[in-house]
Structure 1
């Protein structure tokens, strides 16, 4: 029993075989999916995937790469899209990416702030992408939390101990992708060992970042099982235990998502 908490099912990579991809994931034990918005200009495509499948939920937001091209966004716009829509369970993905620098930093920060404001107003978790921007990510979150707490998740975590500690101190959760399985990810593994189990989620970020032993292939939600199995070994729990706790964590954090009755929480 697993949830792929972050994937991009609307991307062209899956256009010709989305039903088969979802069926393969379900056969691997994936009971739910969150397909993530990266641009408001393509949000309706994201929303349509969630509407078509009872076990697929979605978010609404602007990726930091798109902060410049998409232009300024008001928190009220995000709130208006998310609050009344039963399929929207998260705000984002948003955040800061200084590695590629595809959008000006000031645009990224402004957009990130708007998403935090929307998360506070709606109570929906903000889904944060951060790369080579730990200091500014912490600064934005600290400033925004000072205006009132809101739930959140650092997705595809690859940051430092300092970022992990700051996020946990703010009550946020951390999501682990296939990067944890990569040979050169030992520093990340040591950081993740320190994260409490009750704050961990798993994801694919499909179609990107396929885990070992699928590295180099198009990633897809079924492969979250490989990431989860590796993470279970790292945390010294069984795969079933890891699946149960990360699934419980998903539904606790993304509380707007409706959990299938047959897979109710076990109290883990």
Structure 2
């Protein structure tokens, strides 16, 4: 399970996020970006954050450390912002925290160059978890101490929003044409050769075990949290084996052109043209 801390002070909201995460201080003297069970996006967002974040860390990608954060709703009484106050009151109990990276900046493709190997590992990982939220519009990447860090994995694993149809959506190809790292010539084959063998059912089971039972209960069609955990394991294990062969990495179709800004290099037959 995730290590747990207790929130001692709510510092400030981060209004860039749709779920209104906030910066909090905790009793371990750490500072965290906190995501709340009472947010409108629901607990599946937190489940995705844990499974994908922990999996990324196990695969050697830079993802900030995750913790469970106990929240006493009384903290919300001192908040002048009504929206924040209501969110804190609705989120008593266990929430999710991500280690705050002080001084980090959002990834800017104009100012930070990525090698094809690292780009390939990130694109492959995003294809595995079916991350639809790493585009040039919203990179969800930070640069900290000169290195790239991956954040915000709540919009992943689309199949868990409708488990009865998961069989078809798990096999869905991944279109990376608008991925923020597409212009850097990601080496997908090398990433697959390196990372796919690491995504074993044992590893996935360890990652799924980090999700608290309280976020998995009462899912229709599953008798227990462990049964639901097995479904996540099976879905990701199935994608890992051959998923790299379904990644689209090139120009958008004519009926769905890319709207990427002009700084993105033009892609021709899967290679960046200068």
TM > 0.5 fold call: no
Larger Rg: 2
TM (norm. structure 1) is 0.30
In proportion to residue count, which structure has more helix?
A: 1
TM (norm. structure 2) is 0.29
